[in-house]
Amino acid sequence: MIKYFPQTNTFHLYNEQISYVLTVLKNGHLGHLYFGEKVSEHVQPEWFRYALFRPLTACVYEDDPFFSLEHERLEYPNFGTTDFREPAFRIRQENGSAVSDFKYITHRIVEGKPMPKGLPASYVSKSSEAQTLEIDMIDSVADLKLTLYYTIFSDLAVVTRRVEIVNEGQQIQTIEKAMSMSVDLSPGTYERVHLWGAWSRERHLERTPLSKGVQSIGSTRGCSSPDHNPFIAIAEPSATEHSGAVYGFSLIYSGNFIASTQVNYDNVPRVMMGIHPNGFEWVLGAGERFQTPEAVMTYSSMGLNGMSQAFHKLVKNHLTRGEWVKNPRPILLNNWEATYFDFTEDKIVELATEAKRLGVELFVLDDGWFGKRNDDTSSLGDWFVNLDKLPNGIKGLSKRVSELGIRFGLWFEPEMINKVSQLYEKHPEWLIGDPSRHLSNGRNQYVLDFTRKEVVDHIFKSMCQVIDNTEISYIKWDMNRHITEAYSTALPANQQGELYHRYILGVYDLYDRLIERYPHILFESCASGGGRFDLGMFYYAPQAWTSDDTDAIERLKIQYGSSMLYPLSAMGSHVSAVPNHQVNRATSLKTRAEVAYFGTFGYELDVTKMSDEDKLEMQSQIEFFKEHRNLIHHGEFSRLTGPFDGDSNRTAWMVVNAQKTEALLGLYKVMAEPNTGVKSFKLRGLDPNRMYDVTGYDTPVSGRVLMNYGILDIPSFTGAHLIEDRPVGDYQSHVIKIKAVD
């Protein structure tokens, strides 16, 4: 998978799908040559370069007017040496200079994938699944070493990258910026696709031309945030969902990030991803080492959908860990929208009893069970049960629930503290904030200083005291406030720039400890819904609450956008009550379930208040999901059309199993339309040579027809009789089963 050509000092990373080629330039820096569709093994570096004499160019050598880094495509560009674009890193030395000149020293090609410590990263189960290239670069003036890690997977169109910086000298160095990856793609015209949003409206897709100069998205909120997801795709303008060249980039990280592009006058796009440099500095003492988070790069010649499928495989097979990779994800009932803070033990048991009767497998008790918490003004940090509400404690309640034959899960918000809490009375210094300044408010709560080990120790201990000797099999880990006044009383003045990154390392540390102690617990991450929905979190928590917005129509956009890189098995999706609590919209129980099926699936409503008719429908929805969840969570997902495409009224997506014998198609029409033209959707991923039974159609049809002619849309009102199971009206959906005829 990785070949080194000593004559040209060139490295070729390839598998059956992609090639990534880099070379050592004349001055020892690393040049990028090619990333894309697989090319023949032996590449000639000169073919990919365009060294020309140009006025106003700063050249590396006096006697070579052709060699300037400005006109090279680079791999991890230095600051201050003839390349005037954004550098990948900046390291301030003791004399104040940030100029650096890292030169290639040596490299190693290793089987498998070495893992960083304390950070999430993609992994391999067998060393044959990947190869890793480690390149050492030295700046001899600053006595610094960079090691660039490149991993290529044997059967995935993915290259991952990360960087380690080691201070091999005696000076104190200050890292001002350290991207996880930087690549100068082939010159051309491109578009940028990214996911932006806000609370309740996460991961909406935007596609715009990639313009000259610098464009960036990112977060400086202390978490990856709902504003922008750590993801960008760079697509050729002609690329569609299913065809054309698309590069996808993401970061396995949950803190502040930046994803930037810079297109120069040569039409070369430089793409970089890493920790956001705003508010970041890292002091590197003698002998110390800094490691960046890992970045993921994909290439697809099959459009955005091909890119998404590579990301999905990576998340499912190389990021999610533990028994929940394979175990069926439980169908859950969460009490949040059913009761909010207003519940008693009997009410919870009543909900769980009815949920069990209807087929639900896991009951989740959300916020409000601890301290004196009856609203959002108090008790975060006091992780001991409110015995007024739950007289038998979590132990007693979880026992009562488990005895019903349904599992029990519990909500925590480990990173937070209310001022009205015993914890704050004891440890006011544990808040993040500058004591000499006013501290801003967010949901009446404050962020605990997870840069302090003693804080993480304390929260770990308090959580263990709740979890030990109970029947807890699931934890929802919430996070509802961003970091302001970023300052830690525990860090020295020159290390305050380390706070954001140290904070997220503390979060990862707590996750690691809990997972190690409770390997069977299923974690679902949450941050006011999908506010920390990133590859970093999926290393710890196999699923995440996609959004606080449970409205089926809003969810079409949110789940469609999320599917750009996150698989269905990662997306928490619940059926909630109508009128919906976020947008006051009423959709049918059928439509709500048919959107939620394409996720982890569960309910978030008061099941005791449902009509008998709705309960019967819920029962059959649960049976349906149990029958198909293996297909949904392990199959290959494809988007057919969606809310951000030309026709925003329609969404269609499908999932096909590995054998191509079973598929589920979800069709959704937001607003009813009278007498529209005939529309059909061409299906994906089926076997062209097989015949399939399709729900609603009397005769089997071939995969070739389904993929080339397609299947008809939900009908519009034409004045004729309505087909009974496809009524016309707003917010329609239809899930169609497709099964190979033996």
The nearer residue to ligand DGJ, 218 or 529, going by C-beta atoms, is 529
Applying CB under 6 A, does 336 fall inside the site for ligand DGJ? Answer: yes
CB 300 within 8 A of CB 236: no
Count, residues near ligand DGJ per rule CB under 6 A: 11
111 three-class SS? strand
Tell me the window of 99-107, 139-147, 167-175, 525-533 that interacts with ligand DGJ (CB under 6 A).
Answer: 525-533
Q: What is the DSSP string of 120-168?
A: -----SSGGGEEEEEEEEEETTTTEEEEEEEEEETTSSEEEEEEEEEE-
Closest CB to ligand DGJ among 226 and 561?
226
Verify binding: residue 498, ligand DGJ, rule CB under 6 A: no
**548 is annotated as an active-site residue:** yes
Rounded to an integer, what distance in angstroms lies between the CA atom of residue 601 and that of residue 622?
Answer: 9
Q: CB-wise, 132 or 528, nearer to ligand DGJ?
A: 528
Residue 277 makes contact with ligand DGJ by CB under 6 A: no
Q: How far apart, in whole angstroms, are the C-alpha atoms of residue 424 and residue 405?
A: 38
Least gap, CB of 530 to ligand DGJ (angstroms): 8
- Residue 481 has phi, psi (to 5 degrees) of -155, 140
- Amino acid type, 614: D
Residue 681, phi then psi, degrees to nearest 5: -120, 130
Task: List Cα–Cα distances, 217 to 51, 408, 644, in angstroms.
Answer: 31, 39, 19
Residue 335 as a binder of ligand DGJ (CB under 6 A): the answer is no
| All residues at 6 or more sequence positions from 632 whose CB lies less than 8 Å from its CB, including other chains | 568, 569, 597, 598, 601, 625, 655, 664
Q: Which of residues 394-413 bind ligand DGJ (CB under 6 A)?
A: 411
The catalytic residue among 478, 534, 549, 713 is 478
223 binds ligand DGJ (CB under 6 A): no
Q: Which is nearer to ligand DGJ, 311 or 336 (CB)?
A: 336
Nearer to ligand DGJ (CB atom), residue 222 or residue 303: 222
Q: Which of 160, 167, 528, 559 binds ligand DGJ (CB under 6 A)?
A: 528
Q: Tell me the residue type at 591.
A: T
Contact pick of 70, 478, 534, 551 for ligand DGJ (by CB under 6 A) = 478
Site for ligand DGJ in 351-370 (CB under 6 A): 366-367
Q: Are 350 and 397 in contact (CB under 8 A)?
A: no
Shortest distance in whole angstroms from residue 140 CB to ligand DGJ: 51
Least distance (Å) from ligand DGJ to the CB of residue 269?
36
Nearer of residues 481 and 502 to ligand DGJ, judged by Cβ: 481
CB atoms within 10 A of CB 549: 22
Active site residue 388: no
Which residue has the CB atom at the shortest distance from ligand DGJ? 367
Q: What residues between 140 and 179 interact with ligand DGJ by CB under 6 A? A: none
Provide the token pair at 638. Answer: 């494809």
Our CB check for ligand DGJ shows the closer of 282 and 336 to be: 336
Sign, CA dihedral 586-589-591-594, equals positive
With binding defined as CB under 6 A, does residue 526 bind ligand DGJ?
yes
Looking only at the bridges linking them, the beta strands covering 472-477 and 522-525 are parallel
Query: If binding is defined by CB under 6 A, does position 529 make contact with ligand DGJ?
Result: yes
The H or E element containing residue 251 is strand 246-252
Dihedral over Cα of 463, 469, 470, 472: its sign: positive
Identified binder of ligand DGJ from the candidate list 70, 86, 471, 548, rule CB under 6 A: 548
Give the binding site for ligand DGJ (CB under 6 A).
336, 366-367, 411, 478, 480, 526, 528-529, 545, 548
What residues are annotated to the active site?
Answer: 478, 548
